[in-house]
Amino acid sequence: MISETRRKNIKDILKKSDEPIKGSTIAKDLGVTRQIIVKDIAILRAEGNKIIATPKGYITTKDTFSSVKRVLAVSHNTEDIEDELNSVVKFGGIVEDVIIEHPLYGEIRGILMVRTLFDVKNFMKKLHNYGAEPLSILTGGVHLHTISAENEEDMKNIIDELTKKKYIISD
């Protein structure tokens, strides 16, 4: 299969899926190695295609989902991560990422795409199983999240909940 055809197929596969797709799955479907898919995805992204690599696989932004997005400044300890994520997804929100400001590297962003209680449980399980530290450990708990919701009312409920729990940083 020629590379241009393969890249078009990759875009089609991602556009048709509502869930992230692993590079190895795409590779198997197209009869190539995962490394070829990684290279093709890099080329597609360089061409301006909005493809995001998440821990669960690749996704592409869909124009069909009109959402409200906000970047929220929050602070909490590691023990409150699960509660913070649950506070967003219970109102239908998506925690798209976590962003910290690092004194040496500048902005560091980790893609999360946590949208369900199941996603929260999986994230917490990985956090514990890998013995990993969250990015916010580098900033004393201070970090940003890009949150998306289907409408302003859902976003207001999310912000109210996070404010009530004192996660949102205010003056």
Whole-number average pLDDT of the chain: 90
- Kindly report the backbone phi and psi dihedral angles of residue 59, in degrees, each rounded to the nearest multiple of 5, phi listed first: -135, 160
The mean pLDDT value for 107-123 works out to 93
What pLDDT is attached to residue 64?
Answer: 40
pLDDT at position 9 over 80: yes
pLDDT band at 171 (very low <50, low <70, confident <90, very high): low
What pLDDT is attached to residue 47?
Answer: 83
pLDDT band at 82 (very low <50, low <70, confident <90, very high): very high
157/15: higher pLDDT: 157
Alpha-carbon span 91 to 154, nearest angstrom: 6
Say if pTM beats, i.e. exceeds, 0.75. no
pLDDT tens profile 27-81: 999 999 999 998 999 889 888 788 888 878 898 876 444 579 999 999 999 999 9
Share of the chain above pLDDT 90, in %: 67
Nearest to 147 by CA among 78, 73, 62: 73
CA angle (13 as vertex; 7, 19 as ends), nearest 5? 135
Q: Which domains does the chain have, with CATH numbers?
A: 3-60 (1.10.10.10), 68-164 (3.30.1340.20)
